[in-house]
Amino acid sequence: MTTLTKTKWAIDPTHSEVQFKVKHLVISTVTGAFKSFEGGLETEGDNFDGANASFSIATSSVDTNVADRDAHLKSPEFFDSENHPNMTFKGHLKQVSGDDYKLEGDLTIKNTTKKVELTVEHGGIMKDGYGQTKAGFEITGNINRKDFGLTWSMVTEAGGVVVGDNVKLLLNVQLTKG
């Protein structure tokens, strides 16, 4: 019986991005990003089906291009970055067909853990100019921010909601084979 070796794939932060989109006043969308994150996959050989995934994102690295809004997001009304410096994900990849996968697992924000399922498109594997093997993935999905204790809300005089509950997640991740 042949045993496949475990392969570790680490996020290459210089070729990866973690973004989110949320409705503002229900009429437009605000895009933000997290600038500090780490994690990766552990596979059996080069097979991504069934790979274990783990990621950690520094909540204090949130960036929406507006300093006051970023400070509000880091405050106890949202991420409470001082007391909850990281949001984490632990789960596994499951191949649906071809390059299409589901990423299923536990997302933890502010000590609240919920099961999530994200859609993953595998972009392929390639060696870079330095001989390192890279793998690319595009990950998308939606979460309800209130499920994770991010419940701050405000209603305008006209009755509009300032921040939507649905948050779109968009991650473009390049991994380096270890």
The confidence score (pLDDT) of residue 159 equals 46
Where is 71: in which H helix or E strand?
A: helix 67-74
pLDDT at residue 142 above 70? Answer: yes
Q: Is residue 1 part of a domain?
A: no
The confidence score (pLDDT) of residue 147 equals 84
Q: Are strands 28-34 and 17-24 parallel, antiparallel or unpaired?
A: antiparallel
Q: What is the pLDDT of residues 22-78, one digit of tens each?
A: 866 555 678 899 999 999 999 988 899 999 999 999 999 999 988 988 998 899 888
CATH code, domain carrying 141: 2.40.128.110
* Mean pLDDT computed over every residue of the chain: 88
Q: Is residue 165 part of a domain?
A: yes
Among 11-15, 56-60, 62-66, 120-124, the least confident range: 62-66
User: Nearest Cα to 65, choosing from 41, 36, 33?
Assistant: 33
Domain count, the chain: 1
